[in-house]
Amino acid sequence: MLIEFVASDAALPEKAALAVVVFEGEAETAEAGAYARAVSASRFTGAKGQVLDVPGAQAADRVLLIGAGKAEGFDEMAAEHAAAAAYGAVKSTGLKTLRVKLPKAEAAFAGRAALGVRLASYRFDKYRTKEAADKKPSIAKTEIVAADREAASSAFAPLAALSDAVAFSRDLVSEPPNVLYPAEFARRVKDLETLGLEVEILGEEEMAKLGMGSLLGVGQGSIRESQLAVIKWNGARDASAQPVAFIGKGVCFDTGGISLKPADGMEDMKWDMGGAAAVAGLMHVLAGRKAKVNAVGILGLVENMPDGNAQRPGDVVTSMSGQTIEIINTDAEGRLVLADAVWYCQDRFKPKFMVDLATLTGAIIISLGNDYAGLFSNNDELSENLLAASKSEGEPLWRMPLPAQYDKNIDSMIADMKNTGGRPGGSITAALFIQRFVNGLPWAHLDIASTAWKKPSSVPTIPDGATGYGVRLLNKMVADKYED
């Protein structure tokens, strides 16, 4: 989607829609009352999310009024959502250009409106070969009216980097599992070196030397080689500054292994690498906007398959930390991947903190529904920073408890721990398991099984499917709290 910032009196191109964003209660008087008649002949009030197609308006081939809610509540997110709603209303009309006129034309609002359209126009259509032209979105360009076009472009620059990164992350999640297996995921991450990132890929032999028996056990039933991707961004003024670290669960397909999942819905398990995709997206945006921070991203990439060589329930594996794990259920594989990825991360990089993201448990969907991800942390400051970023970016997050008294639920009869803690508090015991590998560092775990994928989506900036959840939130937290 091409974005341009234009003056309010710029001539409209042919085949253009004009979306006039209006405040609630001010719809009839907006634009000198030009649309008062249409407004009074409808139930349009300007409430958030409302759209009114104005028949017979002369200003453009098509004119829409978009409700922005009350003037007092109008913020950057409201601008973003209004522009995304405008795009949603006209994307398949056959028109070529969308012009968005916000009720406030300051650069910050214009930039966010552009972000809203970019995010809303994301589409994963590379495997469609027969889609009729009249089913495809027609809008190729969006013009945002801005008082100061230069300032609007500058405000948009880091947001353009963000939308590219979210699209990168959504693409990874949307790819089918026969295409995006661990080595292919690693290759796509390696390609990010063109952005200035440093990427190392470790294969099974290297991981075996490091003693990563926990991660390797998950992938041992797959013909696809397990991979560990290590992504570094060195943007801090002080090159030796301690990094911040992010770790992602990248199970490219989760059959459950020998503890096989039921057939119904198993295809959804292609997005069991949503945590790794979010971390890859985060590294993409940090490099894209040249963030002043040192950061590392670590992705544990495996495929969990049943096979003659697959791990069995009852097996005991030794993790890189030296701790042994009795496998009770081979479908509780994400925590086994994270155990070694997290340990490796703290051991090698000694980061300020670690945040892991994982589509870890079905139980988090039962706890929080489909909008909120779960936050588990041993550190209040890190938690507050994550929650603040989550609020301002519209990626809902809810803190869950990590009670020490539940930790015994993952004690094993014959090893240091077992990989499941029973049904009660399943997301909590999963988090407690990971906590045994953080070696006391400030750490947070985001269980994004509830938010990595949405169908249907109720947010105008998130089309149905892969959400890219986590990229915005983490990028915002880094920008606000950890850059110098």
Binding span for Zn ion by CB under 5 A among 14-22, 50-58, 65-73, 328-336: 328-336
Q: Which is nearer to Mn ion, 235 or 426 (CB)?
A: 426
Q: Which is nearer to Mn ion, 333 or 356 (CB)?
A: 333
Which listed residue (37, 141, 261, 391) is catalytic?
A: 261
Q: How far apart are CA 130 and CA 302, in angstroms?
A: 33
Shortest separation between residue 300's beta carbon and ligand BES, angstroms: 12
Amino acid at 224: R
- Per CB under 6 A, which of residues 227..256 are in contact with ligand BES? 254
Quick one: which of 93, 329, 378, 439 contacts ligand BES (CB under 6 A)? Answer: 329
Per the annotation, the verdict on 261 as an active-site residue is yes
- Per CB under 6 A, which of residues 251..270 are in contact with ligand BES? 254
Quick one: which of 176, 196, 362, 424 contacts ligand BES (CB under 6 A)? Answer: 362
The H or E element spanning position 218 is helix 213-219
Q: How far is CA 389 from the centre of its chain?
A: 13
Q: How far is CA 18 from the centre of its chain?
A: 30
Q: How far is CA 223 from the centre of its chain?
A: 29
Q: Which of 211, 87, 67 is nearest to 144 (CA)?
A: 87
Which listed residue (91, 289, 335, 418) is catalytic?
A: 335
Q: Which of 154, 178, 119, 161 is nearest to 281 (CA)?
A: 161
Q: How far is CA 182 from the centre of its chain?
A: 19
**Contact between 363 and ligand BES per CB under 6 A:** yes
Q: For 71-99, b where at least 16 C-beta lie within 10 A, e where not — what string?
A: eeebbbbbbbbbbbbbbbbbbebebebbb
The set of residues, in sequence order, having a beta carbon less than 8 Å from that of 213 and lying 6+ positions away, is 317, 318, 319, 320, 340
Shortest separation between residue 273's beta carbon and ligand BES, angstroms: 10
Q: Which of 200, 277, 417, 244 is nearest to 346 (CA)?
A: 244
The C-alpha torsion from 328 through 331 and 334 to 339, rounded to 10°, is: 20
Considering only the C-alpha atoms of the chain, give the largest distance between any 2 of them, rounded to a whole number of Å: 78
Quick one: which of 76, 175, 184, 254 contacts Mn ion (CB under 5 A)? Answer: 254
Site string for Zn ion, 238-277 (x = CB under 5 A): -------------x--x-----------------x-----
**Contact between 334 and Zn ion per CB under 5 A:** yes
Per the annotation, the verdict on 126 as an active-site residue is no
Shortest separation between residue 334's beta carbon and Zn ion, angstroms: 4
Q: How many CB atoms lie within 10 A of CB 153?
A: 18
Shortest separation between residue 355's beta carbon and ligand BES, angstroms: 18
Q: Phi, psi at residue 13, to the nearest 5°?
A: -70, 175
Quick one: which of 326, 333, 340, 356 contacts ligand BES (CB under 6 A)? Answer: 333
**Contact between 430 and Zn ion per CB under 5 A:** no
**Contact between 449 and ligand BES per CB under 6 A:** yes
Binding span for Mn ion by CB under 5 A among 27-35, 102-110, 188-196, 254-262: 254-262
Q: How far apart are CA 186 and CA 271, in angstroms?
A: 16
Shortest separation between residue 339's beta carbon and ligand BES, angstroms: 13
426 binds, among Mn ion, Zn ion, ligand BES, none (CB under 5 to 8 A by kind): ligand BES
Quick one: which of 204, 272, 303, 395 contacts ligand BES (CB under 6 A)? Answer: 272
Which residues lie near ligand BES (CB under 6 A)?
254, 272, 329, 331-334, 359-363, 420, 426, 449
Which residues lie near Mn ion (CB under 5 A)?
254, 331, 333
Which residues lie near Zn ion (CB under 5 A)?
251, 254, 272, 334
What positions carry a catalytic annotation? Answer: 261, 335
